[in-house]
Structure 1
Amino acid sequence: MTAQAHLGLSATRRLDSLSWPEAEKALQQSGSTVVWPMGAFEQHGPHLPLATDALFSERILASVLSELAANAPIWSLPSQSIGFSPEHAGFPGTLSVSSGLLTQLIIEVGTQLSAQGVKRLVLFNAHGGQIGLLQAAARELRVQSPSMAVLPCFLWSGVSGLAALIPEEELRGGLHAAQAETSLMLALEPRLVGEARPVDGDHRQPASLATPPPGWSLEGAAPTAWLTSDLSSSGVIGDSRAASAELGEALERCLVSHWANLFGSLLASNWPPSQPVAVVN
């Protein structure tokens, strides 16, 4: 490998592009931060690829990292492209690991990173079906590696600019392979998007089948553990008909700006506390 090629790989901020002496130096820097893109290998309707979530987490993260200072102590792991996706079982192509296996993987990798000096591990997740699982795994890892901050986050959560781009009904009910995800894929990898523009799930099903009882919801304050087959025959939950590359480009800018700001804030901080906070009984 030429020196130029090696520098090119290092510029991508991929931890696995470094040699072991480079990795040793990098991970022991003050505030060293590793980001693990988390996706899934699951159906996304008849028009989007199985790799949708993994592709989103990896591509958006790459753009975010390119926005940060060149000397910022932050690196990316290769994406975890098979996740916890039992809700999509029965749709061909979907692959899922158990909750216990994914939790153990995060703990084992995380404890090794902590032992090598990493101060922060960010789980950069784009699959909504494993948000709670990654939060629980992060807590377990933090107990075992208290000197390392563990930050489980979801690509689409907390991004205030989304409300100006996507109709309220889609924000609430476009849960899978609908307007937002179809648009973002049209912007990032249009060759992978089929011609179909499905509308399915609670947009199409009779209310008695698709709508939880009053006071309950598919997501939110009082959620139900729905399966895709409860709601959709196509695998889509939402309405993809208004998807466009233009909307996808706007979503991409919104996501990158949001996460670049948050990562910049994290890197500028002293988090986690160097000493545990005393617990008062």
Structure 2
Amino acid sequence: MIYDSIGSIDTEWAGKPYREITAIAESDGSVLVVPVGSIEQHGHHLPVATDTILVDAMVHGGSEQVDTDVPLLVTPPVWSGFSPHHLPFGGTLSLDLDHLRAVLEDVAQTGIENGFDAVCFVNGHGGNASLIDAVVSTVGISTDAEILGTTYFTLATEEIESIRESDTGGMAHGGEYETSLMLHLRPDLVADSDQRDGTIWNEHYELGGRDLLESGPLSVYRSFDEYSDSGAIGSPELASAEKGARIYDTITSELAALFVAIHEHNA
């Protein structure tokens, strides 16, 4: 499949027989990591599976840096997210909010039933973020296991700022950040440079979101065709594989440290 894991079989749930999974789950401080992506338009130059490809790669990249004595497994990615704001462009598959919540709750609950001490959702799509925050609570209140959630592109923002060339608004949907990562991880899926046309994120409200690295304290719903003719928001023309490698190394190191901290807290 187009979003096949780039990760090691050592931490891949899907590649193991069930007795090996339950042995890992029953170890002290076991951690189950659930990558959550989407299938949605990313302009003319990136595939619709971009969010799923990237979050899966980030999670596996982080898990590979964790010592083998840390009991950790990564589920297959939840590949469809909540993306109604992308539907006008076509190419988007979106789950209903309640359906996605139920999927994430069920995955977490059954992971806990296998014996895991902690479940960590790692999100790769902005439209999923508030829902994952809610699921941390809806599952957390019903179990003694620890439930956590994060969105990978909100990590290490100061370090990423030092990598970027674009101004605020250039690292948005299909912009410099995501296009650089795709050029590093899956250049075969990135269109030629003449197709990389994005519009700088220009939100009316100063408190609204302005960038992947600057989400803003004000939530505003807008269909993405109000922001961009192509569907891409940001500066994809500034992307490079070299920047993508630096972003990848930075974020996977942050995730590895998080996974170890979760294990240590629950051991």
Q: TM-score scaled by structure 1?
A: 0.85
How many Å apart are 1:216 and its aligned residue? 4.5
Match of 1:256 among 228, 252, 258: 252
- Structure showing greater relative contact order (alpha-carbon pairs closer than 8 Å, 6 or more residues apart): 2
Are the aligned partners of 2:80 and 2:95 in contact in 1 as well (CA < 8 Å)? yes
CA displacement 1:135-184 (0-9 Å, x = unmatched): 11221111122x111111101113131111114624x4532000111111
Distance 1:214 1:259, change over 3 A: closer
Q: What amino acid sits opposite 1:151 in the alignment?
A: L
Higher radius of gyration, 1 or 2: 1
CA distance in structure 2 between the partners assigned to 1:222 and 1:168 by the alignment: 23
1:12-161 equivalent positions in 2, closer than 5 A: 12-145=10-143, 147-159=144-156, 160-161=158-159
How many Å apart are 1:15 and its aligned residue? 1.6
Are the aligned partners of 2:165 and 2:238 in contact in 1 as well (CA < 8 Å)? no
Q: What amino acid sits opposite 1:68 in the alignment?
A: V
Are the aligned partners of 1:106 and 1:141 in contact in 2 as well (CA < 8 Å)? no
- Count of matched residue pairs: 254
1:178-197 equivalent positions in 2, closer than 5 A: 178-195=175-192, 196-197=195-196
CA distance in structure 1 between the partners assigned to 2:224 and 2:62 by the alignment: 31
Secondary structure of the 2:33 match is strand
CA distance in structure 2 between the partners assigned to 1:270 and 1:111 by the alignment: 17
Which 5+ residue runs of structure 1 have no aligned equivalent? 1-8, 203-209, 272-281
Aligned Cα root-mean-square deviation (Å):
1.9
Are the aligned partners of 2:14 and 2:76 in contact in 1 as well (CA < 8 Å)? yes
Q: What amino acid sits opposite 2:117 in the alignment?
A: K
How many Å apart are 1:217 and its aligned residue? 4.5
CA distance in structure 1 between the partners assigned to 2:154 and 2:206 by the alignment: 25
1:260-271 equivalent positions in 2, closer than 5 A: 260-270=256-266
Q: What amino acid sits opposite 1:164 in the alignment?
A: S
Following TM superposition, the consecutive aligned residue runs of length 4 or more in structure 1 with deviations greater than 4 angstroms are 214-218
Distance 1:214 1:16, change over 3 A: closer
Q: What amino acid sits opposite 1:189 in the alignment?
A: R
User: Are 1:211 and 2:208 an aligned pair?
Assistant: no
How many Å apart are 1:16 and its aligned residue? 2.4
Which 5+ residue runs of structure 2 have no aligned equivalent? 1-6
- Identity over the aligned pairs, expressed in percent? 27
CA distance in structure 2 between the partners assigned to 1:216 and 1:109 by the alignment: 32
Are the aligned partners of 1:36 and 1:122 in contact in 2 as well (CA < 8 Å)? yes
Secondary structure of the 2:131 match is helix
How many Å apart are 1:261 and its aligned residue? 1.7
CA distance in structure 2 between the partners assigned to 1:35 and 1:253 by the alignment: 19
Secondary structure of the 1:133 match is helix
Are the aligned partners of 2:118 and 2:147 in contact in 1 as well (CA < 8 Å)? yes
Secondary structure of the 2:237 match is coil
Distance 1:55 1:22, change over 3 A: same
Q: What amino acid sits opposite 2:190 in the alignment?
A: V
Q: TM-score scaled by structure 2?
A: 0.89
